[in-house]
Every structure is written in structure tokens, then in C-alpha cells.
Chain A
Amino acid sequence: MSAHDLSMLEAGDALPTLTAGPITPLTLALFAGGSGDHNPIHVDKAFAASAGFPDVFAHGMLSMAYLGRALTDWAGPAAVRQFGVRFAAITPLGASVACTGRVEAIVEHDGERLAKLALQAAVVDGPVTLVGEALVRIG
């Protein structure tokens, strides 16, 4: 769906699913540098073990960035007004992440037409990892 089709949106409509990954150690090294999040739990297996984890695991913000791509692919680069998530589960190495969303309502705020979205990221064939919502300008 391209940005100019969004005027026809209705509650219940789904965003195109975005799938990213599989997440490798290189993905996490790049994201540590790219995001400025240098927490060793995501790149240093010995540190992860000292914290009680069998291996490093993905930054939650990496999956939130994937969800952000799903939003901007759909509504354009500058349309996101509010975007929040709760991190529900860890994303392990090797996971591919599926980002999905659904229109909950169309609302007006400050003269803008906004879609209120329910969002989710999940490991493909695995648990839900992020649950969130967004307000995105659609006109």
C-alpha cells in the first residue's frame, strides 16, 4: 500500500508484514555501533553468561527499529507521531522477526488525521517479543 492510499483506511486494516533477519552476531555488532547501545550483554557471550543467559541476545531496540521500518514503509518517513512498545520477551540469535500491525481507529488530533495502530513483533514460529502502539499521520 503506498502512502497516498492511506486516506481509504478503516479500522481493522492490516499493515504489510515486515520480516527481518535472521539475526546473527554480526547484526548485533552492527547495531551496537549503529545505535550507540554498547551494552555487552548483546555482543559479549562471556558477559551474557555472567548475567545468566546462555548466549548474547538481540537489542530490544533492534526489533523496535524493524517495527519503525514497517511504519515508515507504510506511512512515510515523517508520519510517526507517537510510537511505544513493551518488551515482552528476549529475541535470541538466529531469530527472524515478523513485524505486524493493525488499524485500531482513525482519530483527529491537532488538525491531523491519525491512524491508531496496534503493533507486534514476534520471532517467526516463536514468541511475541514486542507489543506496542503508534499514532501515525495519514492525511
Chain B
Amino acid sequence: MIDRKHIGAATEEVSIEVELSQLRLFCQATGETNPVFFDADAARAAGHETIPTPPTYPQTLLNLSPFKKNLVLDVIQADLARMLHGEQVFEHHHPIRVGDTIRMRQSVADIYDKKGGALEFIVLETLARNQDDIVCATLKSVAVIRN
């Protein structure tokens, strides 16, 4: 069983640049064909100041954020081989665009179990703010551990 003492654990706040080359690779990997997401001229022609990012892209920025320790693998020390992704929620408050510097901080919001401990759930919440201190997005992930 995962020690419930980890509820409330949090990362430091780290910064990550929203880089066009990474976004292009994400678009290639997801079959994205709308040039607004990878061509600055197309983005401007569609009325965007600069290139916007797709709605699940905050998770990519989170995955690539240079935290000293990964909350799930290093702090909680959950077994990756027994872990599945249970739920994912994004709330978007302000656009995240290429050229932004996003600051990420993740915390363990809850840990609970079902089926007499056969399944454990780790609820992670992340706040993503930009260089102007505007909250751009909140992320909630639920990891499921099969015991």
C-alpha cells in the first residue's frame, strides 16, 4: 500500500519553454494537420498572435519539465509496471503559445484505494502559469496502481 503521508507532497516550481520544434514533433506524432499549430504565418492568418498549442499539450510540457524528482516514481516510488493512466482533466484559462515560458508545480492531491486495496489511485494536480504570472491551465491526472 502507498503511504498516505505523500498526500500534499509537491514539486518545486520549474520553468519550461514552449518550443516550436517540440510542438512540431507532437503534431507529427498525433497526426495534427492544422498548420495553425506549427506554422507562424498560418497562425497569424487565423488571427492568433503566435502559434497556439493543442488542448492536451500542457501534459507534454509537464512531462518535459525538469523537476529534480518525479513525484510518482521518485517520491512515492510507485512501480511503473503496475501503473495505468486512469483519468486526465485539463482546464484552460489562458492560451499557452510558442515562445511562452511556463512554470509548473505539481502536487499529490489525494491517494485512495478501491476493491480492498487491489487498486490504488494517485491524484496529481498541476498549476501551469506563464511568464506574466497568468494561470494558463490546471491539470489533473489520476494514476491507477494494480496491486
Contacts and interface: CB of A to CB of B under 8 A. Distances in A.
Interface in B41-63: 46, 48, 52, 54-56, 59-61, 63
Nearest to A32: B29
Interface in A56-112: 59-62, 64-66, 68-69, 71-73, 77-78, 80-87, 90
B88 A84 contact: yes
Interface stretch (B7-15, B78-86, B126-134): B78-86
Interface of A: 20, 27, 30-31, 33-41, 47, 50-51, 59-62, 64-66, 68-69, 71-73, 77-78, 80-87, 90
Given A61-B88, A68-B54, 20 more contacts: A34-B26, A34-B29, A34-B30, A35-B26, A36-B60, A37-B60, A50-B81, A60-B84, A60-B88, A61-B85, A64-B88, A65-B29, A65-B30, A69-B32, A77-B52, A77-B54, A78-B95, A82-B89, A83-B56, A83-B90
B30 A33 contact: no
Contacts of B75: none
Nearest to B95: A78
